[in-house]
Structures are given as structure tokens and as C-alpha cells.
Homo-oligomer: A and B are copies of this chain.
Amino acid sequence: MTDYFVGVDIGGTNVKVGLFDDQINLVDKDSVPTNADMGPEFVVEQIGKTARDLIAKANFTLDDVAGVGIGTPGPADYPRGIVIQSTNMPKFKNTPLRDMVSEQLQSPGVLENDANVACWGEFTVGVGKDIEDMVFFTLGTGIGGGIVCKGQLVTGSNYNAAELGHLIIYPGGRVCGCGQKGCVEAYASANSTAKRAQEAVEAGEESSLKEVLDKTGQITCKDVFDHSAAGDALAKKITDGTAEALAIICINMLHTTEPTRVVFSGGVIAAGKPLLDAIQNYFDKLVWTLKPEPLEICFATLGEDTGIIGAAALAKHAKQQGKFD
């Protein structure tokens, strides 16, 4: 008998559901609006229906499903599978999401935060599948992280490890949404990159980005990278700031868990090779000279399915570890 796994990726806007075989190959997937304002029962019933439809379409039954993995933004009590609260889903409060989804699919479940889920997906199926030690960053609105040491996710003493966006690299620097000053997130996330550019333009620095700001009322991270690629000096300076901050956290993670690879994912990596090259250049310039460092810095490869892949892979891992017995 082959085991199948369901991966669920719950975002504020959409819920993605994927059905995978025991090698975490995608069988089928679907996406539905989250409708979080309808409350957790509604959302979970939708997840259940979407998954059961995929299972029926594939000519399986619920008996073929060995486990379901669920990725969600925190804060949550992950071991107990309970969402404590959620910025994007205010009606989720102390919601036993894991067990509710499990019940829908009559299958054991595992709940993990979305950055760890994406990290686990890349580690097991994507760019990390041939290594044991990896560090993973999601560069989006904010910066999330995941750490794998010797094939295990580092979860921390209280399931809040790998909040890597909140590493302080410029003490006394820019104020972060978390209340700290000088977090890497306050410099190198998509939002912060855009914000640093917009502040500079508003302060009167000369840049082709001024036209964007005048026309649209705001500057996006993509604008910054586009104008940098087109040769604008300010946009280049801002992009370099993002790359330098990311290089510093690569160095710091090298000296902490010493991964074989640091993997960047999320919207920001659409900036492509110029950004990756800039990070690598800063890394080479700033890292110690004691010995050559073989750390590989690269971009994630799984794309938009990372969430469901990682969730299914985590369910498989939980089963292998005997957590579903």
C-alpha cells in the first residue's frame, strides 16, 4: 500500500491544498479563498471538502491518506496544534486547527509555522535535498526563517526558533515592527527595501524613482530592483543595502549553525541573479579570512507550491518519526 499525504497552506487570502504520494510528488492541488471572516469552522470545512474532492478525483479514499500537514502563520502552540491568534485571521483564537483538519480527513495531522514549512519543503524536495544542514529565509513583506541541523528542523525551547528576520545587525538602527531596532527585516524585506528608497526620494535624493513616486504615490521593492538594473544610482545604493544586510546574516548563520547552504525565497528573489551576485560579493568581502568558506548561497526552487509541498513533507516526516502512531 502506498501512503498519500495532504499538504495545506493557510494564508490570509487563499488556502492551498495539495495531494502528494509518499515520495512527495504532487498528485493534484487546488486553491480556494480563505474566507477567514467566516470563522474557523467554515474555513476548516472548506479545507476538508477541497481535500476530499482531490482524493475522490484521484480515485483514492480517505483510507489512503496517511497524514496531513498544515502550515500557518504564528503565533501558535505547534506541538498541540493550536493557533493562538492570527493577524490575518482575527476569528482564529485558541483554535485547535490541527485536530479540526484531522477530523475532516480522518487522518493524523501536524501543524507548523509557514516559514518552517517552506524551509522543510525546500530541504526535503528542493534545493536542500542532498544536504543535512540548511538555513532558509523568506524575503517578503517581512523576513521569516527556518533552520535545519543534521536533518532536523530547529524548533527551539518554545517553538519560536528561527525568527531570523529579527536578528539585530545594526544596533540602534531602523525601528522594526517587532519593537527592536536594527533588525535585518527593517532593511532587507520587500517592504523595508521599498521604504528605504521612498524615504530617500522624499528626502530629496536624486533618482529615476521620483517619477514612480509622483505617478503612483509609492515605490515598490520591484521598482527599486528594476531601476537599479536600469542604472539608477540611488536604486543601486538601496539594493546594495539589502544585499549587504543579507550577506551579514549569511555570515552570522555560518558562524552559528554552519549550514552547507543558505537559501533565500519569497517575492524579493524575483530580483534574480544581480541580487544573488551582490549578496555573494558582500559575503566574500565581509567574511573572515581565517579559512575559505564553502558556504553556498542560493535561491529557492519550489516556487508557489512550497507551502503545500513542505506541509505534506512534514506530515510524512511526522509519520516516519512515529508521531502518528
Task: Report if A29 contacts B (CB, 8 A).
Answer: no
Output the nearest chain B residue to A252 by Cβ-Cβ distance.
B167
Q: State whether A244 and B171 are in contact (beta carbons under 8 Å apart), knowing that A257-B154, A289-B179, A291-B75 are contacts in the complex.
A: yes
Is the contact region of chain A dominated by helix, strand, or loop, or is it mixed?
A: loop
State the Cβ distance, A212 to closest chain B Cβ, in Å. 29
0/1 interface trace, chain A 285-309, chain B, CB 8 Å (1 if under): 0111111001000000000000000
Q: B288 touching A162 by the CB < 8 A rule?
A: no
Q: Which residues of A in the span 142-197 have a Cβ within 8 Å of any Cβ on B?
A: 147, 149-150, 152, 154-164, 166-171, 176, 178-181
A122 an interface residue at 8 Å Cβ cutoff?
no
Contact across chains for A132 and B161 when beta carbons are under 8 A apart: no
Q: How far, in angstroms, from A168 to B254 measured CA to CA in the complex?
A: 11
Closest CB of chain B to A237's CB: distance in Å?
Answer: 15
Query: Looking at the complex, which one of B169, B171, B181, B290 makes contact with A179 (CB distance below 8 Å)?
Result: B290
Copies of this chain held together in the complex:
2
- Of the candidates B155, B169, B253, the one whose C-beta lies within 8 Å of that of A169 is B169
Which residues 260-312 of A have a CB within 8 angstroms of B? 260, 286-291, 294
Would B171 and A157 count as touching, CB distance under 8 A? no
A170 with B167: CB separation less than 8 A: no
Task: State whether B257 touches A161 (Cβ < 8 A).
Answer: yes
Tell which of A147, A287, A290 has the most Cβ of chain B within 10 Å: A290
**Contacting residue for A180 out of B149, B180, B251, B257, CB 8 A:** B251
Interface residues of A toward B: which range?
Answer: 35 or more
A260's nearest neighbour on chain B, judged by CB, is B157
Contact A258–B160 (Cβ < 8 Å): yes
Question: Which chain B residues border A154 with CB–CB below 8 Å?
Answer: 149, 257-258
Question: Which B residues lie within 8 Å of A157 (CB)?
Answer: 131-133, 258-260
Give, as a whole number of angstroms, the nearest-CB distance from A148 to chain B.
10
CA distance A289 to B178 in the complex (A): 6
Q: Which residues of B contact A253 (CB under 8 A)?
A: 256
Contacts of A256 in B (CB 8 A): 147, 161-162, 164, 167, 253, 256-257
Docked pose: A153 CA to B287 CA in angstroms? 24
With A156-B258, A180-B287, A256-B147: A169-B171 Cβ-Cβ less than 8 Å: yes
Inter-subunit contact A257/B168 (CB<8 Å): no
A134 to chain B, nearest CB (A): 9
14 CB < 8 A contacts A-B? A131-B157, A133-B156, A133-B157, A150-B152, A158-B294, A161-B255, A162-B256, A163-B255, A168-B252, A169-B171, A170-B171, A171-B286, A256-B256, A257-B257
